[in-house]
Each structure stands twice: as structure tokens, then as C-alpha cells.
Amino acid sequence: MIARIWRGFAIPEKADEYAKHLQTSVLPELYQIDGFRGATLMRQDSARQVEFIVLTLWESMDAIRKFAGADAEVAVVAPAARALFREYDPTVRHFEVVLSTR
């Protein structure tokens, strides 16, 4: 299993909108992709911004490419989501999951 990790810094007033966007727009699309195994959204609030880390789980890099395209290292950030962030990582990181307690 492969974990795909991405990070963005949302505008505080718009942070709740990102969680909704992920739940209503992105996840339904991901669940249609063979090899998608789930997602976790993590949030940390500060006075100036809200940091989100999105972790998605995939069966393989081939499954990830069905979502991300040929260059799987490039972040996929929809225009609707871009408007909610001060900044975000333009790339993602992939890790092989070697142990999970789920």
C-alpha cells in the first residue's frame, strides 16, 4: 500500500469550506478509482492560518496515476480548492506503508 501525502495552508475563514470540498467533490471521485483505499484529513489551527495534511491510501503507484496522471508527484488541486488556500505544496510525497494498526 502507498500513502500519498499533501499539505496546504488555508485562509482561516475558509478552512471549513475545504473539508466540505474534500468530502463532497474529491472523495466521491476517488472512490470511483480502482485501487483507492481511503483518506484521512488532518487539521491544525493557528492564529494566521489553518494547516491541512491530506493522506490518501492507494493499492499501487499505478492506481495513483489513474488519479494524478503520468507525473504522480504533482499535486492535484482543483481551482475550487486553490481559492481556499494561502499556499500549498505543489508536489506530494509517497511512502510505502510498512505497518498499519487499522
Copy the grid coordinates of residue 52.
491541512
Cβ–Cβ under 8 Å, residues 32 and 49: no
Residues 32-90: tens digit of each pLDDT? 999 999 999 999 998 888 999 999 999 999 999 999 999 999 999 999 999 999 999 99
pLDDT at 4: 98
Confidence of residue 3 (pLDDT cuts 50, 70, 90): very high
**Domains of the chain with CATH codes:** 2-96 (3.30.70.100)
pLDDT digits (tens, 9 = 90+) for 10-29: 989 999 999 999 999 999 99
Stated as kind and residue range, the H or E segment containing 81 is helix 79-82
Please state, in angstroms and rounded to a whole number, the distance separating the CA atoms of residues 41 and 16: 12
d(CA 11, CA 33): 30
How far, rounded to the nearest angstrom, does the alpha carbon of residue 33 sit from its chain's CA centroid? 15
Going 32 to 34 to 38 to 39, the CA torsion angle's sign is negative
